[in-house]
Amino acid sequence: MSSQSPAVPVNQITNVLVANRGEIARRVFRTCAELGIASAAVYSDADADSPHVPEASAAVRLPGDTPGDTYLRSDLVIDAARACGADAIHPGYGFLSENAEFARAVTDAGLTWIGPPSAAIEAMGSKVESKRIMAEAGVPVLAELDPADVTEADLPLLAKASAGGGGRGMRVVHALDELPDAVAGAKAEAGSAFGDSTVFCERYVDTGRHIEVQVLADNHGSVWAVGERECSIQRRHQKVVEEAPSPFVDERMRAELFDAARKAAGAIDYRGAGTVEFLATADGEFFFLEMNTRLQVEHPVTECTAGIDLVAEQIRIAEGQRLTDPDARAERPNGHAIEVRLYAETVVPAGDGLEWQPQSGPVHRLRVPRVTAEFALPPRFGVRLDSGVGDGSVVGVHYDPMLAKVISWAPSRAEAARALATALAEASVHGLATNRDLLVNILRHPAFLAGETDTAFLTRHDLATLASPLAGEEAHRLSALAAALSAASINRDRATVLRGLPSGWRNVASQPQRKSFTAGERTYQVEYRLTRSGLHAAEYAGVDLVHAGPDNVTLTVHGVRRNFEVAHHPGLICVDSPLGPVALRPLPRFTDPEATVAEGSMLAPMPGAVLRVAVQRGEHVTAGQPVLWLEAMKMEHQVTAPTDGVVSELNVEAGQQVDLGAVLAVVRPADEQDHNPRQEAGTS
């Protein structure tokens, strides 16, 4: 809808500083370049070599590593804008993007804020206050519950932080006796993450749909509903798969959602790009959840189906320009788009289930096939890649471990799912464990393809099955053989005597070549001999060697030719083939006795800070009992006892920084007595 109001003078932007990092900074730089606008970057010491730094017209260092010392320092960011001659600031998402004080500080400094008014940010910053405003505007909301007044009839419910988002400060409660701990945990996490420990409760819809509407509003009274997205598949309240349009929403529901979203934006005099999030029940009833007063991580799916560059629209609105295109495109989306978030993380057992732990370290290679666009609206149906890392990047412990967003856009939902699953399966992702297998298995799951994608998807469909490796046992065995043959080829090429002879060649038949690798908890031992008659390997009956080079090995397996791409990295060999990706770690021929770890040791699963310790040395614990909590990569991680026993060693305390693999504590069987052999022998 629009109204005729006096025109706002256009304030042309010439240089935009992006107060962010990684993928979203690169995304904004791309649009700025297309609009002929200079761009400026800021970077922490940890991000000095990040790909986003050299892509800007200028870059300013923010001394330090942690967000609190760098990207969350509004004074340093504004000083950086002045230093590089920027006349506008784009906040991206996360960090200061929904900080009303920062928005005011930017405008007070005489810079253009590419975002909504600070009053709108403030109004939506509190979930309690925002629900009150929405209810008054006629937007459906879930009733707020006071934790002190909750009864059995209110269950299940969600204890939820009033500030922030991203899944932090949220706890699901199924029984009344769980409520005190849930509220306390939500308060602690919210206070740590957002500086506001206010918590409220609301009805928990365990099989709902997370539907959100993208809105754009200018300074002239126009408010567009640009399209809806579905983001129901979530883990720990964090989105995993996003798509547009929603397979659940019909024309009637779409019209009602758009109307509610326009009312929400109008109620707070919104300007810029924003997202109104709703929770929908199975019968199509929906309720306001929150409004994100910024660009969303999943905005590319809307850009693809609506044909709109949302960053460009943000800049035009900030300049005072009018929205010129009608929002009819949103009511007739062009094709279907699906986005997945590729994270550096691994699956580990946790109690009776599984837990995802973020990973840090080098990214040796990240390549996705058939990419038609990066950080921009594709010119045709295809695959889009928005990545914050490149070959050689290092994922640190201070920031979110997302490597990339991979987006497919196709004429239909089924085609988009197939194209995205194939692109992910064929991608070369070397160096860190990722959630790639989970994403591909979701996209290929019959329930997903049928559009059955409510918020209980990962609970209803066994997570262990969904997270199972794309490469099966046969793929691992053949990949180990390919890795061994590739390594032998490298050794042969490096030889200075009798070049061209097979690795390990002798003029008298002798022992076979042997190589050992680990993949997860499995060990693969390869034994083979290369003779004039070809490959001889007792464990590989029916396998013949066609070609073996440093980077590529071709085998014939029971008459079928298979190609294996092999990449050698420090301590790691990655083998990519149509059978599935396999990461192998070569085992040394001889092990170092000092490298062994005592049984019952609890190792740090990632670098991080110890938040709190729940036990003392000498205390009895049971398997699975929480021992301590680590904070890393914006999340809290519980470390539990590996077995029943006594805490014989406790090597950390709250506030201490620990490295990956550090021995945090040791649990020994209760009947095992500590002793010192030297003392028993009467020595000192």
- CATH number of the domain residue 78 falls in: 3.40.50.20
Work out the average pLDDT over 578-584: 97
Q: How confident is the model at residue 505 (pLDDT cuts 50, 70, 90)?
A: low
Overall number of domains in the chain: 4
Tell me the one-letter amino acid at 300: P
Work out the average pLDDT over 56-70: 96
User: Is the pLDDT assigned to residue 127 strictly greater than 90?
Assistant: no
User: Is the pLDDT assigned to residue 349 strictly greater than 90?
Assistant: no
Residue 458 · residue 235 · CB < 8 Å: yes
**Residue 426 located in a structural domain:** yes
Q: How confident is the model at residue 204 (pLDDT cuts 50, 70, 90)?
A: confident
**Mean of all residue pLDDT scores within the chain:** 89
Quote the pTM value.
0.86
Tell me what pLDDT residue 356 has. Answer: 83
Question: Rounded distance, CA 193 to CA 164, Å?
Answer: 8
Tell me what pLDDT residue 592 has. Answer: 59
Tell me what pLDDT residue 339 has. Answer: 98
Among the residue ranges 26-35, 152-161, 271-280, 672-681, the one predicted with the least confidence is 672-681
Regarding whether 491 and 410 lie in a shared domain, the answer is: no
Question: Rounded distance, CA 115 to CA 92, Å?
Answer: 9
Question: Rounded distance, CA 607 to CA 481, Å?
Answer: 33
Regarding whether 502 and 600 lie in a shared domain, the answer is: no
Regarding whether 625 and 582 lie in a shared domain, the answer is: no
Regarding whether 76 and 32 lie in a shared domain, the answer is: yes
Distant-in-sequence, close-in-space partners of 614: CB < 8 Å, separation ≥ 6: 626, 627, 628, 629
Cα 29 off chain centre by? 21
Work out the average pLDDT over 573-600: 84
Map residue 38 onto helix, strand or coil: strand
Question: Rounded distance, CA 583 to CA 603, Å?
Answer: 22
Question: Rounded distance, CA 96 to CA 219, Å?
Answer: 23
Kindly write down the DSSP assignment for every residue of 1-36, as one continuous string. -----PPPPP----EEEE---HHHHHHHHHHHHHHT
Q: How confident is the model at residue 162 (pLDDT cuts 50, 70, 90)?
A: confident
**Residue 485 located in a structural domain:** yes
Tell me what pLDDT residue 679 has. Answer: 37
Q: Which residues face 557 on adjacent strands?
A: 543, 560
Tell me what pLDDT residue 181 has. Answer: 87
**Residue 677 located in a structural domain:** no
**Residue 90 located in a structural domain:** yes
Q: Report which of residues 377 and 52 the model is more confident about.
A: 52
SS3 content of the chain, % helix, strand, coil (to 5): 25, 30, 40
| CA distances in angstroms from 615 to 62, 185, 652, listed in the order given | 38, 18, 11
Tell me what pLDDT residue 173 has. Answer: 92
Regarding whether 98 and 32 lie in a shared domain, the answer is: yes
Work out the average pLDDT over 134-156: 89
Q: How confident is the model at residue 394 (pLDDT cuts 50, 70, 90)?
A: very high
Task: Provide the domain limits for residue 376.
Answer: 335-468
User: Is the pLDDT assigned to residue 535 strictly greater than 90?
Assistant: yes
Kindly write down the DSSP assignment for every residue of 185-244, as one continuous string. HHHHHHHHHHS---EEEEE--TT-EEEEEEEEE-TTS-EEEEEEEE---EETTEE-EEEE
Q: Which residue has the tokens 């079928």?
A: 560
Regarding whether 517 and 449 lie in a shared domain, the answer is: no
Residue 26 · residue 51 · CB < 8 Å: yes
CA angle 611, 187, 292 (to 5 degrees): 105
Helix axis angle, 310-318 to 22-35, nearest 10°:
70
**Residue 353 located in a structural domain:** yes
Among the residue ranges 17-26, 78-87, 522-531, 588-597, the one predicted with the least confidence is 588-597
Q: How confident is the model at residue 392 (pLDDT cuts 50, 70, 90)?
A: very high
Distant-in-sequence, close-in-space partners of 286: CB < 8 Å, separation ≥ 6: 140, 211, 253, 256, 257, 260, 278, 279, 280
Per-residue pLDDT tens digits for 217-240: 999 999 999 999 999 999 877 899
Mark which of 468, 500, 517 sits at the end of a domain: 468
User: Is the pLDDT assigned to residue 678 strictly greater than 70?
Assistant: no
Q: What percent of the chain has pLDDT over 90?
A: 68
Residue 399 · residue 25 · CB < 8 Å: no
Tell me what pLDDT residue 4 has. Answer: 45
Regarding whether 542 and 445 lie in a shared domain, the answer is: no
Tell me what pLDDT residue 164 has. Answer: 62
Both tokens of 583, joined, read: 């990461």
Work out the average pLDDT over 75-90: 98
Among the residue ranges 219-233, 244-258, 349-363, the one predicted with the least confidence is 349-363
Tell me what pLDDT residue 466 has. Answer: 94
Work out the average pLDDT over 171-180: 89
Regarding whether 452 and 549 lie in a shared domain, the answer is: no
Q: How confident is the model at residue 673 (pLDDT cuts 50, 70, 90)?
A: very low
Tell me what pLDDT residue 620 has. Answer: 93
User: Is the pLDDT assigned to residue 14 strictly greater than 50?
Assistant: yes
Tell me what pLDDT residue 682 has. Answer: 39
Mark which of 468, 487, 509 sits at the end of a domain: 468
**Residue 459 located in a structural domain:** yes
Helix axis angle, 251-267 to 127-136, nearest 10°:
110
Q: How confident is the model at residue 501 (pLDDT cuts 50, 70, 90)?
A: low
Map residue 576 onto helix, strand or coil: strand
| CATH (domain of 508) | 3.30.700
Distant-in-sequence, close-in-space partners of 322: CB < 8 Å, separation ≥ 6: 7, 218, 220, 222
Q: Is the dihedral of CA 40, 46, 52, 53 positive or negative?
A: positive
User: Is the pLDDT assigned to residue 677 strictly greater than 60?
Assistant: no
Regarding whether 548 and 435 lie in a shared domain, the answer is: no
Both tokens of 53, joined, read: 């730094």
Kindly write down the DSSP assignment for every residue of 307-357, as one continuous string. T--HHHHHHHHHTTPPP-S-THHHHS--SEEEEEEEEBEEEEEETTEEEEE
Per-residue pLDDT tens digits for 357-371: 889 999 999 999 999
Among the residue ranges 198-212, 361-375, 562-576, 584-598, the one predicted with the least confidence is 584-598
**Residue 209 located in a structural domain:** no
Tell me what pLDDT residue 1 has. Answer: 42
Q: Report which of residues 168 and 555 the model is more confident about.
A: 555
